[in-house]
C-alpha cells in the first residue's frame, strides 16, 4: 500500500510541475483560462457554445476539448469559428497537465484573450489533476439529482465557481435547490453559484458577467 501511495504522489507531483509550466505560458501570453468539469451530459459543450456566441465579439476565444474518443463536441465548437483543439484521452477519465501542454502550441495564444478547456465528463478523476488554468468551474445539472455534493465532495471542494444547469426542468425533477446549496456551502463556503439554463438562456447573463469580470481582472 505504501508503494502505491508513493507512486500516486509522484505522479501528482510531476503533474503539478507541468501545470505550473502551463500557467506560466498562459500568463506570458496574457490568456485567461477556465477548466470546465462535469459529469457526462451536464451541458459542458452547450455552455461553451453559449459563452462563445455571447462573448466572441468582445473577446478572442479558444477552446480545448477533451474526450475519451470522437470529435463531436469539438466540431460543434469549431463551427462557431473559434480556434479549437481536440484531445482524445484514449480511455483516460480526465485531462492532465501533459495533455494540455501538448495542446497549447496548437493554439494561437498570442491572439487569444480567453481559453476554455472542456474536461472529460467525470466527477472523480478531474479533481485530482491540475491543468495550470486560472479558474476551475464545475457544472452540475438538475437531472443528476441534488445529492452530488454529498457524494463527490472533492470535486465540489476544489472549484472556483459552480453552475447548476437545466433549471428549466426543475419542476419535472425532485431536485431540492436548498439541500443542494447546503451541501455545497459546507464544502466550499461562498462559492460563486450560477443557476441557469443553456437551453432557454435563463440565468446566463450572470455567468457571462462573471467570466468577463475574471478576464478584465486578469488582464489588468
pLDDT of residue 220: 87
pLDDT of residue 41: 93
- The range of the structural domain enclosing residue 167 comes to 2-219
Q: How many domains does the chain have?
A: 1
pTM of the predicted structure, to 2 decimals: 0.92
Buried b (16+ CB within 10 A) or exposed e, 41-55: ebbbbbbbbbbbebb
pLDDT of residue 163: 98
pLDDT of residue 74: 80
From the first residue on, what is the mean pLDDT of each consecutive set of 10 residues in the chain (220 residues)? Answer: 48 86 98 96 96 97 84 83 88 86 96 96 87 97 97 94 98 96 97 98 98 96
Q: How far is CA 17 from CA 10, 29, 102, 196, in A?
A: 11, 19, 15, 35
Helices and strands of the chain, counted as H and E runs: 8, 7
CATH number at residue 106: 3.40.50.300
Amino acid at each position: 500500500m505504501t508503494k502505491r501511495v508513493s507512486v500516486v504522489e509522484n505522479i501528482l507531483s510531476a503533474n503539478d510541475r507541468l501545470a505550473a509550466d502551463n500557467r506560466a505560458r498562459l500568463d506570458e501570453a496574457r490568456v485567461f483560462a477556465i477548466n470546465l468539469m462535469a459529469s457526462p451530459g451536464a451541458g459542458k459543450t452547450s455552455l461553451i457554445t453559449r459563452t462563445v456566441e455571447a462573448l466572441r465579439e468582445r473577446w478572442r476565444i479558444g477552446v480545448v476539448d477533451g474526450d475519451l474518443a470522437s470529435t463531436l463536441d469539438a466540431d460543434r465548437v469549431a463551427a462557431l469559428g473559434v480556434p479549437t483543439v481536440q484531445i482524445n484521452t484514449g480511455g483516460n477519465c480526465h485531462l492532465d497537465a501533459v495533455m494540455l501542454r501538448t495542446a497549447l502550441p496548437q493554439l494561437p495564444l498570442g491572439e487569444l484573450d480567453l481559453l476554455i478547456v472542456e474536461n472529460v465528463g467525470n466527477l472523480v478523476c478531474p479533481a485530482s489533476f491540475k491543468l495550470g488554468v486560472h479558474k476551475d468551474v464545475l457544472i452540475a445539472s438538475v437531472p443528476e439529482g441534488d445529492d452530488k455534493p454529498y457524494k463527490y465532495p472533492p470535486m465540489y471542494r476544489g472549484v472556483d465557481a459552480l453552475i447548476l444547469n437545466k433549471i428549466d426542468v426543475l419542476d419535472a425533477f425532485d431536485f431540492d435547490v436548498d439541500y443542494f446549496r447546503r451541501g455545497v456551502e459546507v464544502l466550499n463556503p461562498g462559492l460563486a453559484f450560477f443557476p441557469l439554463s443553456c437551453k432557454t438562456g435563463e440565468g446566463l447573463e450572470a455567468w457571462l458577467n462573471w467570466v468577463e469580470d475574471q478576464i478584465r481582472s486578469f488582464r489588468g
